[in-house]
Amino acid sequence: MTVVRSTLPDEARRISCEALQDTLVDLLGLSLIAKQAHWNVVGPRFRSVHLQLDEVVSAARAQADTVAERAAALGVPPDGRPETIAKVFSLPAPKEGWLRDSEAVAVMTEALGTAVSRLRERIDATEKADLVTQDLLISITAELEKQRWMFEAENFPGES
């Protein structure tokens, strides 16, 4: 059943909504791993890392909402159910239990870097299909790159 009809041609819609669904999974998963690290981080930089992790959570959740609404606007219901996330999510994640601040920073740097790489592939894929979706993916990439930079700066060489 199609409740909302897209103004995009079918193939462009398929490409865009695939990119949006994959991005939704990455963003929801990213918010979960950042919150997991947030709850378990310990060490001399606890407070700054703890607060920075919450920034990632807030940004990822807000972006996930925008991505899901874009998919819905294109006539494809977004799928952010826990079982969907658990089945397909594959970004690097923190280990179970307490997490040294330097480990939290390292895992977030890696997870954000992986997410950005995937977003860049989706940006390329949507270039001809849907410039509006591409623009959304570009803005998400900019925010995640900023967050990655901030985490990477926490563990500059000689300090990790």
- Domain assignment present for residue 122? The answer is yes
Determine the pLDDT at residue 2: 66
| pLDDT for 160 beyond 70 | no
- For the segment 75-93, the average pLDDT, to the nearest whole number, is 94
Q: What is the pLDDT of residues 27-63, one digit of tens each?
A: 999 999 999 999 999 999 999 999 999 999 999 999 9
Question: Structure pTM?
Answer: 0.93
- Domain assignment present for residue 64? The answer is yes
- For the segment 107-132, the average pLDDT, to the nearest whole number, is 98
Nearest to 147 by CA among 99, 98, 114: 114
- Domain assignment present for residue 82? The answer is yes
Residue 117 domain boundaries: 10-89+99-154
Phi, psi of 42 (to 5 degrees): -140, 160
Determine the pLDDT at residue 102: 95
155 falls in which pLDDT band (50, 70, 90)? confident
- Domain assignment present for residue 84? The answer is yes
What is the chain written as a DSSP string? --SS--SS-HHHHHHHHHHHHHHHHHHHHHHHHHHHHHHHEESTTHHHHHHHHHHHHHHHHHHHHHHHHHHHHTT------HHHHHHH--S--PPSS-EEHHHHHHHHHHHHHHHHHHHHHHHHHHTTT-HHHHHHHHHHHHHHHHHHHHHHHHT-TT--
The total domain count for the chain is 1
- Domain assignment present for residue 45? The answer is yes
* CATH assignment at residue 58: 1.20.1260.10
Determine the pLDDT at residue 158: 56
| pLDDT above 70 as % of the chain | 96
